[in-house]
Every structure is written in structure tokens, then in C-alpha cells.
Amino acid sequence: MTTPGCWWASEARRVFKAADVVAAFHQGAATWGFPASLLTDNAAVFTAMPRGGRCAIELETVRLGIRYHYSSPYHPQTCGKVERFHQTLKKWLHRQPKAGAVGELQAQLDRFRGIYNTVRPHRAIGLRTPAEAFAARPKATPSLPALEVPSHFRVRRDKVDITGVITLRHNSRLHHIGLGRRLIGTRVLALVDGLHMRVLTEDGELLRDLTLDPVATTSHMGDREVEGCPETCGNDVPRHHTCAPGGSRTRPPTLGPVSATAVAAVEAPTRTRRSTRRVTRVRSSG
């Protein structure tokens, strides 16, 4: 992720999430100050308007009183300056040794940022460096009234899957909410207020009331405990499962052991039918 002229922040990551955008924005603002306005394209990490909501950076600019502008869809010329900057950056990286890791790429970006901002003169600004031009100008600051952003309300319709869970994405992370295998196929409503969540059937029966907590290992819900959001090494998906009062995690009921005789009894008719069909085909052909 880069910003025009790369004088705010330039970060290399394998995947960018909405929270990463806010962190990079504050990283640049800590050095250069908050701007009066912000212009971005319509990527999902920058705007949630197509999905009927607001993403993290949109909520943050409202809280700070910063005016937010969006480029026209399918019109990259709106962000022409940063697109041209990306061209210069890519040409410079093409001439460097290929980075073998994200950390090496970040070191190259940091080096380019220093050259671009403080060494390389630009014809468009009178052969001055961007750092000199920025220091000579009066700074625009946020002009809109800062607003306290209320909790984020939303209603999600879902269907309990074959493992007895539904999913909810919060802060760019997918959470698995356990409801139990007895509810497989049940259509539910998830009422979300920030981190607080209630799950109901379409008839209004309350199935689950919990608070998402990506940090704590457990959260309490009445006389039960709910496993919070432990990190999952495989795919980084937090899971919320019902736990017994003693703290041990409950598991869905499983079938008891099946004897070999029962398996043979189940498979025997199938084998008989197949052999009968084969015999019938042989006799017909004869």
C-alpha cells in the first residue's frame, strides 16, 4: 500500500485488511499530520458502500473530521498522480535484486521512499524534491466536525451449515459461531451491534447471545463459557464454541462404535444386488 508521493506510508504485505489501512494511515499521520481530505479508489478495504455499509477507514475519517473522496468506478484517471507514481516505483523495483521475502521488499520500499522524497528532483515542482515542496506549503487540516461513530448495527441472514456453525466477518476476520449440529439447515438471523451478537431463528427464538472477543481466550455467557477467538494456525479463523461450566470444550455428539457384523449386514444386500444384476446381464446376452 502506498500513498501519493509516498510521503505518508509505504508498506509491503501479503494481504491487506481494513484494519491494516487504518494502521498505515495513522503511521503516516504521526509524521506528517492528518490531511483535510482523503482520496481513494473503490477497493473493498477503502469503501463498503457497495455492500451497504462503511468500512474501517471510512469510519475513522468520520471520527477525525476528514473529508473522504472516492474515484469514479472504472476510471483510474481520477487517481492519475498515484498511478503515475506506481509506474515510477515499479520501474525502480524492476532494476533492483528480486526480493526473496516481504521484509526484503519493505527495505527496498523504504530506500526508494528516501530517494524519491529527498534526493530526486521533480520537474513538475520546479526541480525541487517532494519534501522541499511539502515543507514550503501551508498545511490543510481536517475541517469537518469530528463525530463520535456509533456502534455498527447490521442484520445477517444465514443458514446453519453441516458442522453446526454460521459465519460472521468482523474487522476483516471471519468468525465461526457454533450453534450445534441439531440445528443443521436451520435459517437464522444474526443481530450484530458492534461486538455484541444475538442469533435467533426466523420465528424469534433466541439461540445464542455472545460478545465477540478476538483477544481474550474465553468470554462468559450466563452459566456457560464461550471460547473467544483463539488463533487457528491453518487459516487464521477464530472459532466460538460452547463450553461446559467447568471450562472443557463440548463437542457435538458422535455415533457409537459400529460392529463388523452390522457393517456386513448393511453391505450384504448391496453386494447381492450387484451380483444379481451381473448374472442377469450374462443370461440375457446368452
Is pLDDT of 6 > 90? no
pLDDT digits 0-9 by tens, 193-208: 878 889 999 888 899 9
* pLDDT more than 90, % of the chain: 25
Residue extents of the structural domains in the chain: 4-136, 153-243
At residue 18, the pLDDT reads 84
pLDDT digits 0-9 by tens, 82-134: 888 889 999 999 999 999 999 999 999 999 999 998 998 988 888 999 889 88
- Top-confidence residue, 229 or 149: 149
At residue 91, the pLDDT reads 95
Q: What is the CATH number of domain 153-243?
A: 2.40.50
Is pLDDT of 251 > 70? no
Q: Which residue has the cell 487540516?
A: 141
CA angle 144, 69, 153 (to 5 degrees): 75
C-alpha grid cell, residue 38: 482523503
At residue 245, the pLDDT reads 37
Region 238-263: what's the mean pLDDT? 40
Residues 6+ apart with CB under 8 A from 74: none
CA angle 125, 128, 129 (to 5 degrees): 105
At residue 264, the pLDDT reads 34
With bands split at pLDDT 50, 70 and 90, how would you rate the model's confidence at 214? low
Residues 6+ apart with CB under 8 A from 128: 121, 122, 136
User: Highest mean pLDDT range out of 15-19, 107-111, 268-272?
Assistant: 107-111
Distance CA 258, CA 266 (A): 11
Least confident window among 2-6, 14-18, 39-43, 232-236: 232-236
Homologous superfamily assigned to 4-136: Ribonuclease H-like superfamily/Ribonuclease H (3.30.420.10)
Distance CA 246, CA 49 (A): 44
At residue 172, the pLDDT reads 67
- Top-confidence residue, 279 or 75: 75
pTM confidence score: 0.58
With bands split at pLDDT 50, 70 and 90, how would you rate the model's confidence at 240? low
Region 42-62: what's the mean pLDDT? 86
Distance CA 77, CA 91 (A): 20
Distance CA 18, CA 9 (A): 15
Is pLDDT of 270 > 60? no
Return mean pLDDT, the chain. 74
At residue 169, the pLDDT reads 78
Least confident window among 49-53, 178-182, 201-205, 282-286: 282-286
Residues 6+ apart with CB under 8 A from 162: 181, 184
